[in-house]
Amino acid sequence: MEEMPFAKRFQARHEAWVSAPVYPAATCLLDFAGSLRMLVPEDPRQITTFILTEQGDWFEAEIRFIRRWLQPGMRVVDIGANFGVYTLTAASRVGREGRVWAFEPGAFPRSCLAQSLALNGFENVELRSEAVSERTGRASLDATGGAELARLGSEGAAGEPVVVTTLDAAFAACRSEPFDLLKLDAEGEEPRILRGARRFLAERDPLILCEWPLEPSRRSELLSELRELGLRLFRLLPGPDLLVPLETERPLDSFQLNFFAAGTRRIAHLLASGDLAESPAPLAESTAEEDRAVVHAWLAARPWARSVWPEAHPAGSPRIHRALADVVRGEDPARPRPERWAWLARAQRFLTKPRAPTLELCFTAARVALALGAQEAACGQLGLAQALLPGQTGHALGPFLPPLAEQNELEPVGPPAQWLQAMLDEAIVARAGHSICFGLRQRLPVLERLSANPHASSSAQRRLAAVRRAQASKDTPLW
């Protein structure tokens, strides 16, 4: 449903805004992830400002993994801290016993971050003004595309003069203790940062979170550097919140923005904690009766399902019940994460077999695809559902799961066609892009239709309010 990958849209939005100042003067304070406060540009068309206003959190699934995985006492380095989404998250998780080093050479975002740290009472963060690369010296920071896309250039080039360091130099005087997380988001500088961090990486052994380069040449350079360092690559499965091997020889999901890298010792720790798996766990076979019981129990607890099937016993083949039961098992937080991966993967294999599509299968398949980090495939299923929904009126519904887990508890107040439309529209608005500002022309009509539906969530109303505020903010709005 996206016309181009998210990162390209991100850059295009900024480059289209050529009349704006590089760093806006005015700022505003936003609540972030429920308990944090963050100072950001006041202009609602700025990317960070808009997304936090729209969603109340950052859009990347990786931040939720970091939020769960980081523990008190851990040590984190954030290179390209920007306004501090990851720095503030890390500071809140590692506590007084831990430490965060945040590198942000841009004066304006660094000033905002410094004030955010003070507002949140975080004294466990060392905020550094240097840029990081493969050498020490001086350079320029070109932020004409916006603070989020600032790039490092040669000394004397147009831009903000900055001091450059390396990770090896920056931490040469620190005790040789492990660092738990290294986050890299430096707009193409990542291979050079790694070249200037060989001693740091060998001694500190962090889990690395890095931006996935879109350009083939940048990607090849970065992957070559990682291989030379002996690091393996992983991606996040958002549903089970699990790291799994990243197969670079296969095409990646077009929504993939980040990946993880780790060395042998760190991988062993992650395997032992159940936060990483090399393959899905082996599964015991279930009987048709067991599958039906799992599905019926799940549906009996859902208000929308009881309105369609009062006895929570919808008709469906044993194979459909098995797939749905596998999804329910794969979403059970009490199960080990590698086992949850296995249940979801088995459900996906059935749901993606060639067959005539139905609304029920499309809804469930989209849900599973999202859980397994296949957002592009989920969008395809939602597109099929759009075509199928008008013909669903008057037909009996078979068993299914809503496309979004947030819709599990939906309370129906009208005919099924109305709340089915709300389920579909909500999924398109929330998951057909990382933010509605990318692909707004296609998705705003869907959001407007959804906001008039009595089943619209508070999240949908929040998105629409953010769009309206951004559109009204300037004589020549960005969108």
**What pLDDT shows up at residue 100?**
98
pLDDT tens profile 232-286: 999 999 999 999 999 987 888 999 999 999 999 999 999 999 999 999 999 999 9
Is the confidence at residue 228, as pLDDT, over 70?
yes
Please give the torsion angle defined by the CA atoms of residues 71, 76, 80 and 86, in that order, rounded to the nearest 10 degrees. 10
pLDDT for 453 beyond 70:
yes
Asked whether the predicted pLDDT for residue 323 surpasses 90, the reply is: yes
Query: β-strands 125-128, 99-103: how paired?
Result: parallel
CATH 3.10.310.70 assigned to domain 60-273? The reply is: no
Strand 232-237 relative to strand 125-128, pairing: unpaired
Most confident segment among 13-17, 42-46, 96-100: 96-100
Beta bridge partners of 140: 153, 161
Average pLDDT over residues 376-390: 95
Residue type (1 letter), 104 = E
| H or E element at residue 28 | strand 27-32
CATH 3.40.50.150 spans which residues of the chain? 60-273
Residues comprising the chain, all counted: 479
36 vs 40: CA distance, rounded Å: 13
pLDDT digits (tens, 9 = 90+) for 399-437: 999 999 999 999 999 899 999 999 999 999 999 989 998
**Could you tell me the pLDDT band of residue 8, with boundaries at 50, 70 and 90?**
low
DSSP 326-341: HHHHHT-TTS-HHHHH
What are phi and psi for residue 69, nearest 5 degrees?
-75, -40
> Contact at 8 Å (CB) between 80 and 185?
yes
- Sign of the torsion angle spanned by Cα atoms 444, 449, 452, 456: negative
Q: Looking at the DSSP assignment, which residues form a beta bridge with residue 137? A: 164
Q: What is the Cα–Cα distance from 165 to 183, expressed in whole angstroms?
A: 16
Q: Would you state the pLDDT for residue 146?
A: 65
471 Cβ contact partners less than 8 Å away, ≥ 6 residues apart: 477, 479
**Residues 259 and 381 sit within 8 Å (Cβ to Cβ):** no
Asked if residues 303 and 409 have their Cβ atoms less than 8 Å apart, the reply is yes
**Confidence check: pLDDT of 438 > 90:** no
- Alpha-carbon gap, residue 346 to 342, rounded angstroms: 6
| pLDDT range class, residue 158, cuts 50, 70, 90 | low
* pLDDT > 90: percent of the chain: 73
Q: Report the percent of the chain where pLDDT is more than 70.
A: 90
Among 27-36, 90-99, 189-198, 377-386, the range scoring the smallest mean pLDDT is 27-36
